[in-house]
Amino acid sequence: MEEGRLKGVDVLRDPVLNKGTAFTEKERDALKIRGLLPPRVFTQEEQVERVLENFRRKTSDLEKYIFLVGLQERNQRLFYRALMDNIEEMMPIVYTPTVGEACAQYAHIFRIPQGMYVSVKNRGRIAEILRNWPKRDVGIIVVTDGQRILGLGDLGANGIGIPIGKLSLYTACAGIDPTRCLPVMLDVGTDNQELLNDPLYMGLPQRRLRGPEYETFVDEFMEAAQNVFPHVAIQFEDFGNENAFRLLDKYKNKFCVFNDDIQGTAAVALAGLFSAGRITGLPFTSQRVLFFGAGEAAIGIADLIVSAMVKQGLPEEEARGRCWFVDSKGLVVAMRKDLQEHKRPYAHEHPYLPDVETAINTLRPTALIGVSGQAQTFTEAVLAAMSRCNDRPVVFALSNPTSKAECTAEQAYSWSQGRAVFASGSPFGPVEYAGKTYHPGQANNVYIFPGVGLGVVACQAKRIVAEMFYAAAEALAEDVFESSLEKGRLFPPLERIRELSTLIGARVAAVAYDQGLAGTPRPADLLEHTRSQMYEPAY
C-alpha cells in the first residue's frame, strides 16, 4: 500500500501519509495503528466537516491561519481537500490578506519549520544544504529574500510565510503535487530595526547584505537549485525593486525563472483590462493607462500592455506612449533627473505634473491603476476626475493587503455614482449603491501563477517567456462570462480556478512547444495531458 515501509505512530506523524481517523479497518491492522486512533472510521468528507466547524469557530483571521497551518502539518491531503472545496472562504486566510499579518508575527506563531532557510552563512555550500531537502523531484521553488513583503516592507526571515502560502495555492488551484513544491527563504539579514530588536526573531540578526556579496550569494543559489533539482521552475517573490528587475533580467535567459510581482501581476491586470473593455466598449488599443506607483508591479503591467498592443497592431512607440506613471514625486517625465533605470522607458516628453489628480485632468486616462502601496490615495476628488473623463472609468486599486488599498470598493462605486469598472488586489464584498448590487472583482495573481506553473511543469519548460503571460491573460479574460460582467466582476468565480488553471496551463505549454522550449514530446491532446498532471488530495 502507498504508506510503504512506515508503521505505527510514524505513519500518523507523516503529513503526506497521514489520514487520521479515515484509515480503514484493514489499514489500521496492516500499519499497526489500531488503538492509536479512536475506533470509528470517518470519510474524508466527514473530516472536512470537522475542519470547517473548528475553522469557523476561530475568532480572528490570524487564529484561522494558525489552525490551517497546523492541519497542513498533520494531514496534507485533508488540508488541501478542505482548501479546494472552500477556496473563496479560505484563500484570504492562507494568502492575501491574512498572510501579511502572519508574516509580521511569524517568529511569534512559529510551530515547525516548513521549506528551507538558506542564509548568507551558507555561502560556498548551498548545493549541499539544498540536498538536505527530502525530495529530489522538485518542480516549483518559490523564493524570497523578505525585503518587500506585500505592502509591509522588509520582514527578513519572517517572509518565509509568503513562499509557503504561495505554494499551497499552486497545489489547491492548479494541482501541483505538494511534494514537488519547495519554499525557500534567502536570509541576507534585515534592515527592520523592530525585528533586529526582537529577541524571538529567528533570522540572522544583522543588516541586509547588499552589493557584490549579495549578487554572488544569489548566483550560487540559482546554480545550486538548478543542479540539485534539474527540472525546477523558480519563482521570485517579494524582492525589493532594487533587485527584482535586475535579477529577472539577469536570469531569465539562463534559468526557468519568473517574477510573479512583475509578470503575474501584469497578466492578471491585462486580463482585467481586456474584460473591462467588454463593459466600456473601448478597443484595447485605444486605452490610455495612468499608473499610480512605478515599482516592479506597475512596470511589469505596462510592459505587458505594450506587448499586447503591439500584438494587436500598434507600433511599439505609440503603445508605450499610452502608459503613464505618477510616482511619489509626481508625473514620470523625461525632464526629471531623479528617475531609476526601470522608469526611464516610460519617461515621456511632457511638462511635469505634481500629483495623480492633476495628471488625470491633463492626460484624461481611460484607466487608473493603483500599485503604490499607499492607502486611501484614490480620493473622492481623484474618482470624480476619472468620472469626468469617462462614462465608465476603469479603476484598479491593486495594492495589498487590504489596509494598503488605494480605495475601497464602496468608495469607488459611490464616488463615481456607480459608474466605475472596479477591481482590487484584496477581496471586497458586494456593494449596494443606488438600488444596485455590485460584485467587485479581485485582480488576484492566483488566477495566473498556478496555471503558469502547471504548464511549465507539465512540459518541463526550459525557460519562461513573456508570451506565456500574454497567453495566460487571454485565457483568463476569455473565461469571464457576460453574467459576471453584468455584476461588475472582471474575473471568473474562484470556485472555477482549477478548471481555469488547466486551460492556462495548456496555453502556456503550447507556447513552450511552439518556441522549442519544452523538455518533453508534444502530446496529441495538450489540455488532457495538462489535466492528467494534476494532484488530487483523495485518500
Q: How many whole angstroms separate alpha carbon 226 and alpha carbon 228?
A: 6
Q: How many whole angstroms separate alpha carbon 383 and alpha carbon 410?
A: 12
Instruction: Verify that 51 and 158 share a domain, yes or no.
Output: no
Q: Is position 107 within any domain?
A: no
Q: Which of 19, 64, 166, 343 is catalytic?
A: 166
Instruction: Verify that 390 and 480 share a domain, yes or no.
Output: no
Instruction: Verify that 439 and 335 share a domain, yes or no.
Output: yes
> Whole domain around residue 144: which residue ranges?
113-255
C-alpha cell at 381: 476628488
CB 190 within 8 A of CB 208: yes
Q: Is position 239 within any domain?
A: yes
447 is catalytic: no
Does residue 2 carry a pLDDT above 70?
no
166 is catalytic: yes
Q: What SS3 state is found at 456?
A: helix
CATH classification at residue 405: 3.40.50.720
Q: How many whole angstroms separate alpha carbon 534 and alpha carbon 172?
A: 10
Bridge partners of residue 118, in order along the sequence: 186
Q: How many structural domains comprise the chain?
A: 4
- pLDDT tens string 277-313: 999 999 999 999 999 999 989 999 999 999 999 999 9
Of the residues 94, 126, 150, the one at which a domain ends: 94
So what's the pLDDT on residue 1? Answer: 43
Q: What is the DSSP string of 370-386?
A: E-S--TT-S-HHHHHHH
CB 454 within 8 A of CB 503: no
For residue 441, give the H/E element and its range.
Answer: strand 441-442
Contacts of 89 by beta carbon, 8 Å cutoff, 6+ apart: none
Q: What is the CA radius of gyration of the chain?
A: 23
- pLDDT tens string 38-62: 999 999 999 999 999 999 999 999 9
**Helix, strand, coil content of the chain in percent (nearest 5):** 50, 10, 40
Q: How many whole angstroms separate alpha carbon 428 and alpha carbon 407?
A: 11
Instruction: Verify that 19 and 151 share a domain, yes or no.
Output: no
Instruction: Verify that 517 and 498 share a domain, yes or no.
Output: yes
C-alpha cell at 252: 531569465
Q: Is position 41 within any domain?
A: yes
pTM (predicted TM-score)? 0.93
Q: What is the DSSP string of 243-256?
A: HHHHHHHHHTTTSS
DSSP-assigned letter for residue 523: P
Q: Is position 166 within any domain?
A: yes
- pLDDT tens string 322-341: 999 999 999 999 999 999 99
C-alpha cell at 277: 473593455
CATH classification at residue 53: 1.20.1370.30
Chain position carrying cell 511569524: 106
Instruction: Verify that 306 and 163 share a domain, yes or no.
Output: no
Instruction: Verify that 388 and 423 share a domain, yes or no.
Output: yes
Instruction: Verify that 458 and 434 share a domain, yes or no.
Output: no
Q: How many whole angstroms separate alpha carbon 495 and alpha carbon 91?
A: 11
Q: Which of 65, 95, 170, 251 is catalytic?
A: 95
- pLDDT tens string 191-243: 999 999 999 999 999 999 999 999 999 999 999 999 999 999 999 999 998 89
CB 264 within 8 A of CB 445: yes
Q: Is position 408 within any domain?
A: yes
- pLDDT tens string 518-528: 999 999 999 99
CATH classification at residue 249: 3.40.50.10380
Of the residues 255, 277, 306, the one at which a domain ends: 255
Instruction: Verify that 433 and 491 share a domain, yes or no.
Output: no
Instruction: Verify that 466 and 493 share a domain, yes or no.
Output: yes
Instruction: Verify that 386 and 422 share a domain, yes or no.
Output: yes
Q: Is position 100 within any domain?
A: no
Of the residues 443, 476, 507, the one at which a domain ends: 443
Q: Is position 538 within any domain?
A: no
Instruction: Verify that 24 and 125 share a domain, yes or no.
Output: no
Q: Is position 99 within any domain?
A: no
So what's the pLDDT on residue 142? Answer: 98
